A and B are shown apart, each in its own frame.
Chain A
Amino acid sequence: MATAPEEFRSIRIDKEQCAGRMACMRVCPTEAIRVRDRRAFLLPDKCIDCGECVRVCPNHAIVPQTSSFRDFSRFKYTIALPSPVFYSQFGRGVLPASILKALKKVGFDDSYDVACASESVSIAIQEFLDSNDSPRPLISPFCPTIVRLVQIRYPNLLDHLIPIESPMEIAAREAKHVKMRELGLKEHEIGVIYLTPCPAKTIAIRYPPRKKHSFLDGAIAISEIYPTVVQALSQIGGLNGNSSIRGLGLGWPMVGGQVSSLKAEECLAIAGLADVIRILEDIENGKLKDIQYIECNSCPTACVGGSLTVENPYIARGRVLRMIEQFGSKPCQDLEKIRRLYRRKFFSLPGKIPAHPVQPLDQDVSMAIQKLQGKHDLYEKLPKIDCGACGSPTCLTFAEDVVKGSAALEDCVFLAMRKFASMSSSLLETVESHSRKVPYQTDFEKS
C-alpha cells in the first residue's frame, strides 16, 4: 500500500506570496487552515485535497503540487492522458480526436483517451453490484478527495468504497502496455501523464490508496497546458468530422455521469462536499441500506468544475451533454469482453484502504475528556460569530486550538477587549478609591 506521508498534501502554501487575507481559511471545508502572524498555514492531517483554497486565494499563494512538462524529460517516450474533462474545455465543434491530435503537437509523443476506459469501469461496477453482497450502499472511490474524507472522518465506511480500479489507471495501464509492445520499450522508459482537473489526482497518482504504484507518472494541470493546446488546435484546422472517441464514458466528468451508465435501479449522484458529508453521516447512522451505489464528487459540478479547469463549469457541462448526444449512444467497448475481463479480476483492487482518523484531542482518554470539556466551556464564553480575526476559522475551532495549546486566549479580539475593559475598570476603581481619601470637592459640590 502506498500511504501518503501525512505532511504531503496536494497543495502547498507559498509563504512569500501569502498576505494572510484568510480567504482560504474561511472556505476550507475541514478547517485545515490557520492564519498566524499574517501567514496562512496548513494542518495537513485535516486537509482533504479538495482544492477550494486554490480557487479563492487572491494572491495565488496556494500552489497545487502538479508537475510541469519539463519534469518528464527523464522518459524516452511520453503519453498524455487527458481527463475527459479536457474535451469540454474548448469551443463548440472541437472534437476529442482533434484534441488528442493537438496534444501530440505540443510535445507529447502520444495521447490516449480515458473516456473509453470509463465506459469499461461502468460495466465493471455493474458486474460488482450484481455479484457482490458487501455492505451497501457502495461509494464511488474515483474522487480522491472523497476517499481522503472517508479515511479521516468516516473510517467506519472504508468498506463501502467499491474496490474497482479507476478509469485513469485502466487507461494508463493499457497505454503503457501497448507502447511497450509496439516500441520494445521498458515500462520505466514510458511516462504516462494525466492532464488533471484538480490537485487531488496528484495524491491518487503518488500514493494510490490500494496499491503500491500508479500506472501514471505524474499530472499536469489542465489550466497549465491549456494555452499551448489552444494554439496547436488553431494550427490543426479541419475540426469537424467524426469522433472515434464515443460512448457513455464521455459523461463521467459531470454530475450523474457515472450512475447514468449503470443499470442498477437504486443509485444516487452527489456533488459538493456539504452534501457528500450529509450522505456519509446518514450511512454511518445506518441509513440508505437500500441504495446500491452512490457517486460522490467533491466539486459541486463534479470534475468539469475542478479547481484546475479553465472553462465555466456549466458551459463545460453543456458541451459534455452535446458530445453524449452526438457520440454517446454507440458504445466503444464490447460488453462481453469487459465482463470476461471483470471475471479475470482485471478491474479489482485487492488492497485495503488505510484509515487516517483525525487526531484526538489527546492520546490519553481522560485528558481528551478534560480538553473536550474545556473546549466547549470556552466556546460558551466566545461571541460565536466566527469572525476569524483570531486566525482560526470559527469560534469552536479557536476553542479547540486553545485547549490544544496552539492559540492563546488573547488572540480572540473579544476576550482581549474584555480583559482590557476589566483592567481599565479596576484601574478606574483604584483611582477613584484613592481620590476619595483626598479631601477634594468638585466645583459642582462647592456650589
Chain B
Amino acid sequence: MGKPFSHSFIVEGRNFVQAGTASTKIKTMLKELGIDGGVVRRVAIATYEAEMNIVMYANSGTVVLEVTPEVVRLNVNDRGPGISDIDLAMQEGYSTATPEMREMGFGAGMGLPNIKKNADDLRIKSTVGEGTNLEITFRIN
C-alpha cells in the first residue's frame, strides 16, 4: 500500500474572517480524490465544527488531513484552555459560548455531538491550560 495523502492547515483562534477555510480546502481535496459524496459531506460537517471550536475557544491550532484508500483521518490540535470535563462537553446542548458568540449563531452545544454523529470514530484528549486534541476517523465505502 502506498503512502497516505497528508496535508496540514493552520487555524487561528478568534479569526472569524479566515474561519471555515480549512474545511473548504479539505472538501476540495476529497472531491479531487473522488471520495464518495456522502463521506465528503460528513467530513465537511465534522471539520467545520472542529475548526470553529478552535476559532472560538483556542489561541491557535492545526488540522492535519490524512487520506488512505480506506480512511479519511483528521487530527485537530489546539493550544488553548482545554476541556475539563469531556463527557459534559460531549452532551448535546452543553455550551460555554459567550453571549457574543451566540449572537453570531454559535453556541448551540451541538458541535462535538455532531462530530461524533458524523464520524466513524472520535477520540478526544485534552489538558486544561494546554490544549485539546481530536482524532476523527471516517471509513471510505
- Quick check: B45 and A368 within 8 Å, CB to CB? no
Q: What CA separation (Å) do A368 and B72 show in the bound complex?
A: 14
Q: Does A376 interact with chain B (Cβ within 8 Å)?
A: yes
- Say yes or no for B68: interface residue by CB 8 A criterion: yes
Chain A residue numbers with a CB within 8 Å of B1 are: 366
Question: Which residues of chain B are within 8 angstroms of A362 by Cβ–Cβ distance?
Answer: 34
In the complex, which residues 336-380 of chain A have their Cβ closer than 8 Å to any Cβ of chain B?
355, 357-358, 360-363, 365-366, 368-370, 372-373, 376
CB distance from B37 to the nearest CB of A (A): 5
Tell whether A441 is near chain B: CB-to-CB under 8 Å.
no
Report yes or no: A369 in contact with B5, Cβ–Cβ below 8 A.
yes
Q: Is B129 an interface residue when CB atoms closer than 8 A count as contact?
A: no
CB neighbours of B95 from chain A (8 A) = none
Interface 1/0 per residue, B106-139 and A, CB below 8 Å: 0000000010000000000000000000000000
Given the contacts A285-B45, A286-B44, A357 and B4 also touching, CB distance less than 8 Å: no
Q: Is A39 an interface residue (CB 8 A)?
A: no
B40 contacts chain A at the CB level, 8 A cutoff: yes
Residue of B nearest to A359 (CB): B34
Counting CB contacts under 8 A, is B99 at the interface? no
Does B11 have its Cβ within 8 Å of any Cβ on chain A?
Answer: no
Query: Which of B19-27, B54-62, B75-83 lies at the interface with chain A?
Result: B19-27
* Interfacial chain B residues near A156, Cβ < 8 Å: 37-38, 40-41
Residues on the A chain within 8 Å of B86, using CB? none
A360 touches B45 (CB 8 A): no
Contacting pair A372 B40 (CB below 8 A): no
Q: Is A21 an interface residue (CB 8 A)?
A: no
Q: How far is the CA of A369 from the CA of B69 in the complex (A)?
A: 8
The answer to whether B27 and A284 have CB atoms under 8 Å apart is yes
Q: Tally of A-B residue pairs with Cβ under 8 A?
A: 73
Q: Return the contact of B68 from the options A285, A360, A369 (Cβ within 8 A).
A: A369
Instruction: Give chain A's interface secondary structure class.
Output: helix
Q: For residue A285, which residues in chain B have a CB less than 8 angstroms away from its CB?
A: 20, 23, 44-45, 47-48
In the complex, the answer to whether A153 meets B31 with C-beta atoms within 8 Å is yes
- A373 neighbours in B (Cβ, 8 Å): 3, 5-6
Is the beta-carbon distance between A369 and B34 smaller than 8 angstroms? Answer: no
Hey, which chain A residues are within 8 Å of B44, CB to CB? 284-286
Chain B residue at minimal CB-CB distance from A290: B105
- The residue on A at minimum CB distance from B21 is A281
As a 0/1 sequence over residues 86 to 104 of chain B, the CB contacts with chain A under 8 angstroms (1 = contact) are 0000000000000000000
**Distance between Cα atoms of A355 and B140 in the complex (Å):** 20
Contacts of A376 in B (CB 8 A): 7
Question: Is A208 located at the chain interface by the 8 A CB criterion?
Answer: no
Residues 205-254 of A at the B interface (beta carbon under 8 Å): none
Whole-angstrom distance between the alpha carbons of A156 and B1 in the complex?
30
Contact of A369 among B4, B20, B48 (CB under 8 A): B4
* CB-defined A-B contacts under 8 Å, sample of 14: A281-B27, A285-B23, A285-B44, A287-B105, A357-B34, A357-B37, A358-B31, A365-B34, A365-B35, A368-B34, A369-B4, A369-B69, A372-B29, A373-B6
**Residues of A participating in the B interface, judged by any CB pair closer than 8 Å:** 153, 155-156, 281-282, 284-287, 355, 357-358, 360-363, 365-366, 368-370, 372-373, 376, 400
Name B's A-contacting residues (CB within 8 A): 1-7, 20, 23-24, 27, 29, 31-35, 37-38, 40-41, 44-45, 47-48, 67-69, 105, 114, 140
